[in-house]
């Protein structure tokens, strides 16, 4: 089946720094990728929809200037958490949609902001 990778799997950073998370579709092209955030013991919250070559569409309440999304190619989308604060600590999961509109999820990235 289709594989989606995320890098890094875990990251710890200091408050005020920026962190970049990569999401790659390894064996298919993904015109659309989705970024989710999962709080402890909670469901997945869709943050934004990323379309290759265009600006991301953010969900209500998600700060686009804080969570920068770039979808520069058909196999790569990045999420940059700018000026991270402890409340940004979370599990971030991406998914990539293939041409048949099937979504495949990455393994997630655990972000801890000290």
Partner 1 sequence: AQSVTQLGSHVSVSEGALVLLRCNYSSSVPPYLFWYVQYPNQGLQLLLKYTTGATLVKGINGFEAEFKKSETSFHLTKPSAHMSDAAEYFCAVIPSNFGNEKLTFGTGTRLTIIP
- Residues near partner 1, by CB under 8 A: 4, 6, 32, 34, 41-44, 46, 49, 91, 93, 95, 97, 101, 103-108, 110
Closer Cβ to partner 1, 57 or 82, answer by number: 57
Least distance between partner 1 and beta carbon 84 (Å):
20
Closer Cβ to partner 1, 19 or 47, answer by number: 47
The answer to whether 48 touches 56, Cβ cutoff 8 Å, is yes
CA separation, residue 50 to residues 17, 40, 41, 45 (Å): 23, 24, 26, 15
- β-sheet bridge partners, residue 4: 25
Least distance between partner 1 and beta carbon 65 (Å):
22
CB 101: neighbour CB atoms within 10 A? 7
């Amino acid at each position: 089946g289709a594989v989606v990778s995320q890098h890094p799997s875990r990251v710890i950073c200091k408050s005020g720094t920026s962190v970049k998370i990569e999401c790659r579709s390894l064996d298919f092209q993904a015109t659309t990728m989705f970024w989710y955030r999962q709080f402890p013991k909670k469901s997945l919250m869709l943050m934004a929809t990323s379309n290759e070559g265009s600006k991301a569409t953010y969900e209500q309440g998600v700060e686009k200037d804080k969570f920068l999304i770039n979808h520069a190619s058909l196999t790569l989308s990045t999420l940059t958490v700018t000026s991270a604060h402890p409340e940004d600590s979370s599990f971030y999961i991406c998914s990539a949609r293939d041409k048949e509109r099937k979504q495949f999820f990455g393994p997630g990235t655990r972000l801890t902001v000290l």
